[in-house]
Structures are given as C-alpha cells and as structure tokens.
Chain A
C-alpha cells in the first residue's frame, strides 16, 4: 500500500489520496492522470490492467486501487 501511495503522490501531491473516495467521480483525477497511473501500477506491481478494469469503481480511492492491484496479482 505504501508503494501505491508513493506512486499516487508522485502523480499529484496536491490530492489527499489517503482520504479521498471520489477521485474519478469528482474529477480530481482526470483521464490523463488515470492512464499515467495505469502505466505506473503495471510496472510497479507486475500486473496487466485491461480495458475491463477501467471503471471509476477501481480508481475512486487508494483503497479501491489497492484492491484491484491485489486481485490482479492473485489472478496472475
């Protein structure tokens, strides 16, 4: 989780990723931010994020992202 928080803070350190739960719904993280994040997550956690995962529910909070990352790691 710490690794994920570091990635998120590097993308935009003005967002409080620990508490925000509507990152996509409130447009705090835009689509360019999301595709940058996807590339970072794939490299850092050795996972493949497919188009089916590109839904707001997977990116609305750090916890949701972490859940997706751990699920994809298990599936690998």
Chain B
C-alpha cells in the first residue's frame, strides 16, 4: 500500500464504509464489515487470483475448527455414556484416544497452512541455497527460480489462523459455526495488511456484535489515524530517502554515515510500522472495535528481551503462546528439566530450558520475516543476546549489590537504555541490509574512516534529505518521544482527548491536520513508498 493509496483509504474508503455501516441494521453489520474487507482486499491485490489463497486459508481454518469441535462433542458423548459403567480409567482412555485424533487434525491444518506459506515464501530461497551448494561442490544445477507473487497479508493471516485452530484444540474458545464469520475474523480489512495479529478472543465478539460506536470511539479513532499519518508522512517517508540511498549503494559509504543510516532506518521502521498500526487501530475504533496494541514505547526498553515485549507485541505474544510455551512443556524439555535438576543444578537447568524453548521462537521469527539469511541471522542475534542476558543476570545482580548500585538508579537505567539502543540499531542494520554479506560489510565499514565531524560538516546533506527535512524529522521525533513519555506514564492519550472538552478535542484534531498539511513529505519521490511490513 503506497502513501497515495493510504490517503485514498482514509479520505474515501473509510468514510464510505462508516456511512454504510451506520445505515445497516445492527444484526447485519458484521456482514457489511465482511463485504468491505472483501472489496478492500480485491482493490489491493495485484492479481485477483491471489484472493484464492486467502479463501483457501479461510476454508481450512474454518473446517479444521468444526472438525475439532465435532471431536470434542463426540468425546463428551462417549464419556457421558460410559460414566456409570466403567469409571475413571475408561474416561482416561477415551480422553487420550480423542486427544490423539484431535492432535492429528490440528497438525493436518497447521501443516496445510504452513506448506502454502512456505511454498510461496521460501521456494526460491531453497532453490537459491541448493544451487549455491551444488555450485560450491562443482556441480551444475538445472533448478531455476520462479516468479511468485505473495498474497497480501499471508504471513499475518496464517499466524492468526493457526492461533485460532490451536485455541479451539486446547478448548480455550469454541469453534465458530459460521464460515462467513470465520472469514471476517481472518480478513477484517484494517488489519489484513500488517496486523496486529489478533486472537479470536481479542476481537471476534466485537466484530460480530455490530454495536453502534460511541462518540468517543469516533473522535479517538480519528485522532489515532491522524497521529499515525503524522508519524509516517512527516518522519518515516523523509528518512526513507536517506536510508535507501545508503543501503542501496552501501559500498560507497562508511563510518558515521553508515551508523546514521542504521539509526535512521530504525526510526523509519518504527514510525512507519507503528504509524500504520495507529491507523489500523484508529480505523477499528471508528467501528467500535478495539484491536490489540502492537507497540508500547519500545525505545524505553532496558534490555533486548524487554524491547521485544514492547515492539511488534502481537507477534511476540503469538510466538510465546503457540511456540515458546508448547515447547517448554514438551516431553524433551521436561525430560531435560528432570535430568538437569538432579545433575546440573538450578541455574544451568533454567538456562538450558530457556534456550531450548527460545531457539525455535527466534528461528521462526527470522524465517517469518522472509527468505533471506540476514533475517535468520537477525533471529539468532536476538536469541543469543536474550540468552546471554539471562546467563549473566545473577552475576550482574551480585556486582550491582557489591557496588551498592540500585537497579532503579537513573544512571543505571539510562546506561541500560543506551546499551539497548545499540543492540537495536545493530540488529536493524542487518535486517535492512541487502543480504547477510551486505550487512557484515556495512557493519565493518562503520569502523572505517569514522569521523564524528561528518555529523555537522555537511556530509549528511548529500544523502537525499535537505536541512528542512532534518529539522522536520528531529522536531517530529521530539513530539513522538514526548507523547510516548505521557503514554508510558498515563495510558492512552487519544481516549483521554476524546473524552475531554469540545475545544480541546477539535484543537488536537486541527493541530494534527495542519501539521500534516504543512510538514508531511509530499511529492513524486514520496508517493510510491510502500509499507515495509506489508512485504512480509
């Protein structure tokens, strides 16, 4: 979705949907939402056939859910029928039999969805890797890459679908009997492109209820949308010019310029992704639907682990719920736990257990982002840092205690935040670089010809951004940081403004609109900037 399409969405598509939604009787409103979602998807699809993948995912998810629900009801029926005659051992046998069957059904559904995702996303990656291996061994390869168009939002709706099926399997939710309602849950139009990745229990009830939104929802929704636009158009789209210039021709740059581009990309990514999520959450709010938050002031984090609890939160929660915890209570990890507690001591047992459960999380995190070794490196980078953080925790606590330094001391907190920034900037450099080799080259080039004077001697002005652009970006970042500070300590600002007096409400709306009109980056160079996470 380009900036131009985004503005059309906000100015035309969204108001038309809202009008139609309000005119539709409450019990049919969910159908209207489904209709808007289908139209939205068709409008953004580069090829109409790509909607077949989404339709397939809906069908698989829905009927696996129904199958699991049928197995659960059959299990209950058999238990009821055998309750009087055979006692508890028979009940256990029935439960175990049905659990095996349900596990098979769930695995079938998950494998189907994952094989579609993997086939589309990683086929060319596998071909490339195989060819490289064969070439390295002196053999020629007849395998060739094919042109694959990725269906919009596939990485997001696939995770949401797997989460739904797993929740039905575990009995956390009931299977949705209506196919159309399952479709709406998976493809609700604001969130289909970049998430947030919702659990059925987060949104389904609100999506289907069709309640009339309150006035505060309307105001808070629009404030959130304008705020998201501000972050994207004033800050992210400007930084995109500098970032693409340095990252696309990375061999021409070194030292401070590369370091600045890594910082600029991190800010661009945050402003763009969180800005778009603001637009998504604001859009949902206009219909009275509260979507889960995806960011919570990530640059306040004092460690890499905390950063991932504040950055792309719904992805982290998904990995925790459907990979980390299931792996941590799996047979292998439990066996290690029992062995470790007897032979290796509590510290080592905890560390290895954490590593065993965390490794697949970060491998999947890397792979989820795409078919590049640099993404896998990115996942392993955070895996290593988080495990190292856990490993040195006792030593760090002892050192702090011996030096009489409080964990809450402002100096220590500032040091930890700065250290986390370095970790984040380095990670994002590899994430954005055009492959792992380019990432390594760029990282090493930071230490070549490093001259801090490049920050103010005009070097940075040759990278596509004018002094006015730098001023707009810096001012924008200060405003975002100030709002983040208030949000961190006092909660949602848009809801509070929406509930305030009329002059303040309208004042904020007008201020945001004027800021957008005056300071947003418009022009030919900006309109074609695609959303970064929509590509995943």
To the question of whether A and B form a pair in one complex, the answer is yes
* Partner-B contacts on A (CB < 8 A): 27, 30-32, 34-36, 38-39, 42-43, 49-52, 54-55
Knowing A27-B309, A31-B324 are in contact, say whether A51-B329 is a contact too (CB < 8 A). yes
Q: Are B172 and A52 in contact (CB under 8 A)?
A: yes
Task: Identify the closest chain A residue to B361 (Cβ).
Answer: A31
Q: CB-CB < 8 A to A27: which residues of B? A: 309
Q: Are B172 and A35 in contact (CB under 8 A)?
A: no
For the complex with contacts A50-B329, A52-B171, 8 further pairs of A-B residues with Cβ separation under 8 Å are A30-B305, A32-B350, A36-B353, A39-B341, A39-B353, A52-B169, A54-B321, A55-B172
* Partner-A contacts on B (CB < 8 A): 169-172, 305, 309, 320-321, 324-326, 328-329, 333-334, 337-338, 341, 349-350, 353-354, 357, 390
Knowing A27-B309, A54-B325 are in contact, say whether A32-B170 is a contact too (CB < 8 A). no
Minimal beta-carbon separation of B46 from chain A (angstroms):
38
Q: CB-CB < 8 A to B309: which residues of A? A: 27
25 contacts between A and B (CB under 8 A): A27-B309, A30-B305, A31-B320, A31-B324, A31-B325, A35-B328, A35-B333, A35-B353, A35-B354, A36-B350, A36-B353, A38-B328, A38-B329, A39-B337, A39-B349, A39-B353, A43-B338, A43-B341, A49-B329, A51-B326, A51-B329, A52-B170, A52-B172, A54-B329, A55-B172
Minimal beta-carbon separation of B358 from chain A (angstroms):
9
Q: CB-CB < 8 A to A36: which residues of B? A: 350, 353
Q: Is the interface of A mostly helix, strand, loop or mixed?
A: helix
Q: Are A42 and B390 in contact (CB under 8 A)?
A: no
Q: CB-CB < 8 A to A50: which residues of B? A: 329
Minimal beta-carbon separation of A42 from chain B (angstroms):
7
In Å, the complex CA distance between A31 and B308 comes to 12
Q: CB-CB < 8 A to A39: which residues of B? A: 334, 337, 341, 349, 353
Q: Are B171 and A35 in contact (CB under 8 A)?
A: no
In Å, the complex CA distance between A43 and B350 comes to 15
In Å, the complex CA distance between A53 and B170 comes to 8
In Å, the complex CA distance between A34 and B329 comes to 11
Q: Which 10 A-B pairs have the closest CB atoms?
A: A52-B170, A54-B325, A51-B326, A35-B328, A39-B337, A32-B354, A36-B350, A51-B329, A51-B325, A31-B320
Minimal beta-carbon separation of B221 from chain A (angstroms):
25
Minimal beta-carbon separation of A48 from chain B (angstroms):
8
Minimal beta-carbon separation of A31 from chain B (angstroms):
6
In Å, the complex CA distance between A27 and B341 comes to 26
In Å, the complex CA distance between A39 and B335 comes to 10
In Å, the complex CA distance between A54 and B330 comes to 12
In Å, the complex CA distance between A34 and B354 comes to 10
Q: CB-CB < 8 A to A30: which residues of B? A: 305
In Å, the complex CA distance between A30 and B357 comes to 14
Q: CB-CB < 8 A to B334: which residues of A? A: 39, 42
In Å, the complex CA distance between A49 and B333 comes to 13
Q: Are A32 and B390 in contact (CB under 8 A)?
A: yes
In Å, the complex CA distance between A54 and B350 comes to 18
Q: CB-CB < 8 A to B337: which residues of A? A: 39
In Å, the complex CA distance between A30 and B309 comes to 10
In Å, the complex CA distance between A35 and B337 comes to 10
Q: CB-CB < 8 A to B329: which residues of A? A: 35, 38, 49-51, 54
Q: CB-CB < 8 A to A42: which residues of B? A: 334
Task: Identify the closest chain A residue to B325 (Cβ).
Answer: A54
In Å, the complex CA distance between A36 and B390 comes to 13
